[in-house]
């Protein structure tokens, strides 16, 4: 909880401090990247061409190559060695997404947030550069897009959240065609934000929050505080009406921190609108429509608008037998073990664990996952190790040079 407060509140005056830090620190290449990856390239399995269905068996199959998947791959491959752990991940690159707030604020470049997937994949892992398309937990199988069947003894699902730009009317077109519509949640759009700050002339600067689960619930506010600070330092503040418009009834979940954030908004003359859900953007008119509780639609003109897209579990996961009615992987909240299939585990944003969906939350869950897997493999009942209090919120730092204490090895 304290980390989240630090992550959001320091964004209010972070530009000057980050610039000084940037000038005084060494290159990102000399820092510890936010993963436990080794430098040597992993064994890579390219998608096979047409032909008979291939089948391969592993002790562990991990679906997802984000923060959670790589963390699990690291400790499992160290324990079990080459040929026993496979990671299914189609992406060529891995991103440190927490840095995108700084990219939007003009402090970093988006290229600094990117590494090749090969460079961060643990060296003893078999990397299946492919996409999982079906889960068959009754037969301990997953099938990939190339037609390969992967058999497992244990499965770790760490697929993250899916960005659903198409689910908000007009958003895809607005991001493509309007330079003043921006979003820090995608590598493809994050560099639009700082350009919008620079090109801002006069009018409403609107910052929205999605009516769905969201990666890092503090990020939509961080970009707002950075923008407001930029306007002040560049003589634009008197021409800007800065607004935070959210479908939530509060500015932030924990009351202690919400009070501090409300005070900051009051001091900086940021207008906050609660219980307003963004339903459409009409970029040709520079207008955004919000629906309020009684169903009425209110239209706000904008000079610039930052829009986190609707988000949710990946479509492939939603279609599997592993999820609840919301589409999230159903696991025991204190052990990360699936509630129906004891040899399946979940980690991170794709699960229904009621914590914030952040890399910092994954870091906390990783230690629990290690203990749970060890218990299951020894025939013991997993012990609850995640705090059962549900008000846990956590935000990672904006730098990837965070060193995380490694939990003890699997026994």
Q: What is the pLDDT of residue 7?
A: 52
Q: What is the pLDDT of residue 386?
A: 62
pLDDT along the chain (411 residues), means of 10: 47 41 32 33 47 80 98 97 98 97 97 98 98 98 97 99 98 98 98 98 98 95 98 98 98 91 98 99 98 97 99 98 97 97 98 92 94 95 67 46 40 49
Q: What is the pLDDT of residue 151?
A: 98
- Residues near 289 by Cβ (< 8 Å), separated by ≥ 6? 278, 279, 280, 281, 282, 297, 298, 299, 300
Nearest-angstrom CA–CA distance, 353 and 365: 10
Q: What is the pLDDT of residue 8?
A: 52
What domains sit in the chain, N to C, each tagged with a CATH number?
31-161+313-377 (3.50.50.60), 168-310 (3.50.50.60)
Angle between helix 2-9 and helix 219-233 axes, rounded to 10 deg = 30
Q: What is the pLDDT of residue 55?
A: 80
> With a threshold of 0.75, does the pTM exceed it?
yes
- Compute φ and ψ for 242, nearest 5 degrees: -85, 130
Q: What is the pLDDT of residue 184?
A: 99
Q: What is the pLDDT of residue 385?
A: 74
Angle between helix 255-267 and helix 2-9 axes, rounded to 10 deg = 10
Q: What is the pLDDT of residue 156?
A: 99
Tell me which residue of 146, 133, 141, 182 sits closest to 48, measured CA to CA: 146
């Amino acid at each position: 909880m304290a980390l989240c407060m630090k992550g959001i509140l320091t964004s209010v005056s972070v530009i000057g401090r980050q610039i000084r830090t940037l000038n005084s620190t060494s290159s990102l290449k000399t820092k510890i990247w936010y993963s436990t990856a080794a430098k040597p390239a992993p064994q890579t399995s390219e998608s096979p061409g047409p032909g008979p269905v291939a089948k391969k068996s592993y002790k562990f199959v991990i679906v997802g190559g984000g923060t959670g998947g790589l963390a699990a791959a690291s400790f499992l491959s160290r324990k079990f060695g080459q040929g026993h752990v496979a990671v299914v991940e189609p992406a060529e690159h891995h991103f440190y997404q927490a840095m995108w707030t700084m990219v939007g604020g003009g402090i970093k470049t988006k290229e600094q947030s990117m590494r090749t997937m090969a460079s961060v994949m643990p060296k003893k892992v078999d990397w299946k550069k492919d996409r999982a398309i079906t889960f068959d937990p009754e037969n301990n199988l997953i099938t990939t897009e190339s037609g390969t069947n992967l058999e497992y003894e244990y499965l770790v699902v760490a697929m993250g959240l899916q960005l659903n730009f198409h689910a908000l009317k007009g958003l895809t077109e607005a991001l493509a065609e309007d330079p003043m519509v921006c979003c820090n949640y995608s590598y493809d759009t994050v560099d639009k934000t700082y350009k919008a700050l620079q090109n801002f002339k006069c009018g409403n600067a609107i910052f929205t929050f999605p009516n769905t689960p969201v990666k890092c619930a503090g990020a939509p506010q961080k970009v707002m505080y950075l923008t407001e600070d930029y306007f002040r330092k560049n003589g634009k503040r008197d021409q800007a009406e800065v607004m935070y418009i959210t479908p939530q009834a509060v500015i932030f979940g924990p009351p202690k921190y919400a009070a501090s954030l409300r005070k900051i908004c009051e001091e900086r003359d940021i207008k906050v609108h609660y219980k307003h859900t963004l339903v459409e953007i009409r970029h040709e008119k520079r207008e955004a429509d919000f629906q309020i509780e009684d169903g009425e639609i209110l239209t706000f003109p904008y000079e610039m608008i930052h829009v986190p897209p609707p988000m949710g579990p990946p479509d492939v996961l939603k279609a599997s037998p592993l999820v609840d009615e919301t589409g999230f992987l159903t696991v025991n909240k204190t052990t990360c073990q699936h509630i129906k299939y004891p040899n399946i585990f979940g980690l991170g944003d794709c699960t229904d664990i009621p914590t914030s969906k952040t890399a910092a939350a994954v870091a906390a869950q990783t230690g629990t996952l290690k203990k749970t897997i060890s218990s299951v493999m020894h025939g013991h009942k997993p012990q609850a190790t995640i705090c059962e209090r549900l008000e846990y919120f956590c935000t990672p730092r904006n730098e990837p040079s965070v060193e995380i204490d490694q939990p003890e090895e699997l026994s």
